Structure 1
């Protein structure tokens, strides 16, 4: 079969190969479970651990966007991030929902976008365009931090892998 010298070196070579990051069998991608949406949420990492940041919908209304009033009503909402700083830019998905908590439209909002008035610098505002604004019953936030998404195994076998934030909600998802 193989000489004793080859049999002795082969396991060592496999260990070095595996530790070098060149082995594809060690890279795994997983997706975090989507947290429970709410008007006020504790932002959590991919393991579900709180990050010390709270995100909240301050208020919302239906009104024409000032730059495109001809498009009719859109969802205008204010949000607030407590506990975030410029070094820990956090992000959560915000969704306009109907009375059964079915998503009508979603987008990601970042704590760095919260640059409100001088008396309330942690508050920001944005617009959500939805197909049927008359169905909007509220705006909810999903607590999973969307600001960090490590590289996938497919994109980088050596340095990729790990737990990724849940997929963003799509129109029609139940929250």
Structure 2
């Protein structure tokens, strides 16, 4: 015969299991569709709505990185964010591509990096390391805002889920 305590605790345990199961059913992750890359883009949120910010590649060139010149030429590019807030603005993926728009290397650049020199305080610069710099035909920006990527269902079933920005393109992806 089972003690009375088991019968008292059993309903509580079933309620906890049932609630845990219900919360996981409501958590869904979705990924925004990647926007069309360009030299100048209107930054959009995860729902594809414009944020009122334009990001642009000002220029780029191949040259050795000053901290690791032995690595040879890398892609040094300047970018500009118009309409962004200095402290809480968006971020976009910047990709070096070949003439067929195949990515050779990508990374995220933030508008907070673009509050630089006094002669043009909306510009910033960064470097893209690529395996074959001689193949670089352009540096393109992807318009999807990468500044906020909330918790996923896998990490936090209770508070996770929702729309997430698209993943940064992998080397070899076509833009």
How big is each residue's C-alpha offset from its partner over 1:121-157, in whole Å with a ceiling of 9 and x where there is no partner?
Answer: 1100011110000000000000000000111111111
- Residue 30 (structure 1) aligned with residue 25 (structure 2): no
Native 8 Å contact 2:57 2:78 kept in 1? yes
Q: How many residues align?
A: 159
- Counterparts of 1:115 and 1:88 in 2: how far apart (Å)? 12
> How far 1:87 moved relative to its partner?
4.2
- TM-score w.r.t. the length of structure 1 is 0.86
- Residue 152 (structure 1) aligned with residue 161 (structure 2): no
- Calculate the aligned-residue CA RMSD, in Å: 1.7
- Counterparts of 1:89 and 1:58 in 2: how far apart (Å)? 18
- TM-score w.r.t. the length of structure 2 is 0.86
- Counterparts of 1:23 and 1:72 in 2: how far apart (Å)? 52
Native 8 Å contact 1:39 1:140 kept in 2? yes
Native 8 Å contact 1:90 1:145 kept in 2? yes
> How far 1:70 moved relative to its partner?
1.3
4+ aligned runs moved over 3 Å, structure 1: none
Corresponding position of 1:90:
90
Structure 1: runs of 5 or more not aligned: 1-13
Give 3-state SS (helix, strand or coil) of 1:74's partner: strand
- Counterparts of 2:109 and 2:52 in 1: how far apart (Å)? 17
> How far 1:71 moved relative to its partner?
1.0
- Counterparts of 1:83 and 1:172 in 2: how far apart (Å)? 32
Native 8 Å contact 1:74 1:130 kept in 2? yes
| 1:109-124 matched pairs, under 5 angstroms | 109-124=109-124
Structure 2: runs of 5 or more not aligned: 1-14
- Counterparts of 1:147 and 1:107 in 2: how far apart (Å)? 13
Corresponding position of 1:81:
81
Native 8 Å contact 1:92 1:110 kept in 2? yes
